[in-house]
Amino acid sequence: MSDKRTEIADLGEFGLIDRIKSNFSLQNLTSLKGIGDDAAVIGIGKENLLVSTDMLIEGPHFDLSYVPLQHLGYKAVAVNVSDIAAMNGKPEQIVISLGLSNRFSLEAVDALYDGIRAACQNYKVDLVGGDTTSSPSGLVISITVIGRVENEKTVLRSGAKVNDIICVTGDLGAAFMGLQILEREKQVFQSNPEMQPDLEKYEYLVGRQLKPEARMDIVYELEEQNIVPTSMIDISDGLASELFHLGKNSNVGIKIFEDKIPIDSMAFETAVEFKIDPITTALNGGEDYELLFTINPSDFEKIKNHPDIHFIGHTHDNPNQNVMISKQGTVVPLLAQGWRHF
Ligand code: ADP
Ligand code: MG
């Protein structure tokens, strides 16, 4: 090692992952897709195994002063299942690694696992193992999920073609606004503990933050319609950053229309209340866990009336041009911000 020191923040999360990836090559024929998608793809014959892992750490990812442990358990499973959904697969097993400090009682661990069990039942996954260790301070929960998908139905980030239609499920930005509400109420409570938090009005937003769902329903519905998306990713970091990943991996450009981006009315109003441009919450908010995918235009007829799938734009042949057409008709370059952990 030389004396040179480079800050990880200079690379950012994506730069760091690219660097790790470039230093490894795959040695086994069964490793069909390594680093760089929502899950790794492992060939086992007519089907592929899908493996993905996500770690949540107290502090950067959650604040136990307003996150109930039961919800945390549910969310930790849901965000993993979401990565399997993003491959068009079905989750089957999870393993859980837990770092616990002596701040946590048996009752607290029970509450966490109540949420985990609820998610396992909802997504039909089995908890098959894990690891338990002590953690010097906060709670660490790391989940690995294993799923399965038929070979020809496996959807990567890299399959979009020119002129595919870009689709997004549900609505965007609400989870981010839910977090802003929770943070604000925490501040209010800290400065005046007599004040009870006023969360009822914001129930939908807070729910989107605390108890996200993986869109397995969409995976099943696309299957019923005989649609295999050409590319897919789940929206964990914000629409702009995920569009950037799809475009870059598929070597296509992105064109979306601001007026087509689904934003819930409560999220919109609350963003205005917080003096945040509502479109920014959708583009850069994160934690929506909706699915972003592209379809061949020939599949459009089959889902054009789906109440929860929105058609926000299309791909084009210039990979260097990712743009949004604003409500006023101006061309805005799309910048991938993503989360800044470092
Ligand atoms: P997602 O947001 O879908 O969970 P990430 O952005 O976390 O995806 O990860 C992108 C890709 O990089 C995935 O293939 C993931 O497995 C891989 N990856 C992330 N961190 C590491 C790491 N420390 N070492 C190796 N691969 C990693
Ligand atoms: Mg993902």
Tens of pLDDT along 140-189?
999 999 999 999 999 999 999 999 999 999 999 999 999 999 999 988 88
Helical H runs in 104-202? 106-123, 174-191
Residues 90 and 47 in one domain: yes
Look at residue 16 and tell me if it is in a domain. no
Compute the average pLDDT of residues 238-249.
96
Q: What is the distance between the alpha carbons of residues 140 and 133, in angstroms, rounded to a whole number?
A: 10
DSSP conformational letter for 62: B
Instruction: Report whether 145 contacts 84 (CB < 8 A).
Output: yes
User: In which residue are the tokens 């969409």 written?
Assistant: 218
**Ligand 2 centre from 69 Cα, in Å?**
23
Q: What is the mean pLDDT of residues 2-20?
A: 88
Which residue's alpha carbon is nearest to atom 19 within ligand 1?
17
Question: CB of 8 closer than 6 A to ligand 1?
Answer: no
Select from 340, 338, 292 the least CA-distant residue to 312.
292
Does 97 share its domain with 173? no
Model pLDDT, residue 2: 63
Residue 175 belongs to a domain: yes
Query: Considering only CA atoms, which of 8, 34, 9, 38 is closest in space to residue 23?
Result: 34
**Is the pLDDT score of 62 beyond 60?**
yes
Distance 294 CA to ligand 2 centre (A): 15
Report CA(141)–ligand 1 centroid distance (Å).
16
Cβ-based neighbours of 46, under 8 Å, separated by 6 or more: 150, 151
Q: What ranges make up the beta strands (E) of the chain? A: 31-33, 40-43, 47-57, 90-100, 126-134, 140-150, 165-169, 231-234, 253-257, 291-295, 309-316, 322-325, 331-333
Element (H, E) at 287: none
Residues 6+ apart with CB under 8 A from 176: 209, 281, 285, 286, 287, 288
- Does the C-beta of 43 come closer than 6 Å to ligand 1? no
Same domain, 109 and 179: no
Same domain, 96 and 57: yes
What pLDDT score was predicted for residue 304? 97
Q: In this structure, are 148 and 213 located in the same domain?
A: no
199 and 297 housed in the same domain: yes
Q: Would you say 315 and 163 are in contact if contact means Cβ atoms under 8 Å apart?
A: yes
pLDDT of residue 48: 98
Whole-structure pTM value: 0.95
Per the prediction, the chain carries an average pLDDT of: 94
What mean pLDDT is predicted for residues 137-142? 93
Residue 336 binned pLDDT confidence (cut-offs 50, 70, 90)? low
CB 34 near ligand 1, within 6 Å: no
Contact 299, 164 (CB under 8 A): no
What is d(CA 231, CA 237) in angstroms, rounded to the nearest whole number?
17
194 pLDDT band (50/70/90 cuts)? confident
14 occurs within a structural domain: no
The upper half-sphere exposure of residue 247, i.e. CA atoms within 13 Å in the direction of its Cβ, equals 25
With cut-offs at 50, 70 and 90, classify the pLDDT of residue 339.
very low
Predicted local distance difference test score (pLDDT) of residue 265: 97
Q: Tell me, yes or no, whether 126 and 170 share the same domain.
A: no
Return the amino acid letter for 103. R
Kindly state whether residue 338 falls inside one of the protein's structural domains. Answer: no
Contacts of 222 (CB under 8 A, 6+ apart): 88, 228, 229, 303
In percent, the amount of the chain with pLDDT more than 70 equals 97
Q: Which protein residue's CA is at the shortest distance from atom 22 of ligand 1?
A: 17
Q: Which ligand is nearest to the CA of 83?
A: 2
What percent of the chain has pLDDT above 90? 86
Higher pLDDT, 192 or 18: 18
Q: Are residues 176 and 288 in the same domain?
A: yes
Using DSSP's 3-state secondary structure scheme, residue 33 falls into strand
Total domain count, the chain = 2
Supply the angle between the helices 69-85 and 106-123 in degrees, to the nearest 10.
Answer: 30
278-329: pLDDT as tens digits: 999 999 999 999 999 999 999 999 999 999 999 999 999 999 999 999 999 9
What is the structure's pLDDT at 170?
Answer: 98
Which ligand 1 atom lies nearest to the CA of residue 37? 14
Residues 324, 178 share a domain: yes
140 & 177 share domain: no
Buried b (16+ CB within 10 A) or exposed e, 64-94: eebbebbbbbbbbbbbbbbbbbbbbbbbbbb
- Cβ contacts of 25 within 8 Å, gap of 6 or more: none
Residue type (1 letter), 340 = R
- Among protein residues, the one with the nearest Cα to ligand 1's atom 20 is 17
Which CATH number goes with the domain that contains 305? 3.90.650.10
What's the confidence (pLDDT) of residue 47? Answer: 98
CATH of the domain at 55: 3.30.1330.10
Position 19 in a domain = no
Asked if 133 and 175 sit in the same domain, the reply is: no
Q: Is the CB of 287 under 6 A from ligand 1?
A: no
- Between CA 67 and CA 115 the distance in angstroms is 12
pLDDT for 12 equals: 87
Q: Which residue has the higher pLDDT, 231 or 336?
A: 231
298 and 204 share one domain? yes
Q: Look at residue 17 and tell me if it is in a domain.
A: no
Distance CA(189)–CA(206), nearest Å, equals 16
Burial (CB count within 10 angstroms: exposed 0-12, middle 13-18, buried 19+), residue 152: exposed
Does the C-beta of 36 come closer than 6 Å to ligand 1?
yes
| Domain range enclosing 233 | 165-333
pLDDT of residue 239: 96
CA distance 268 to 321: 28
- Residue 306 CA to ligand 1 centre (angstroms): 31
Q: Is 191 a residue whose pLDDT tops 90? A: no
> Which protein residue's CA is at the shortest distance from atom 16 of ligand 1?
35
- 98, 128, 153 — which closes off a domain? 153
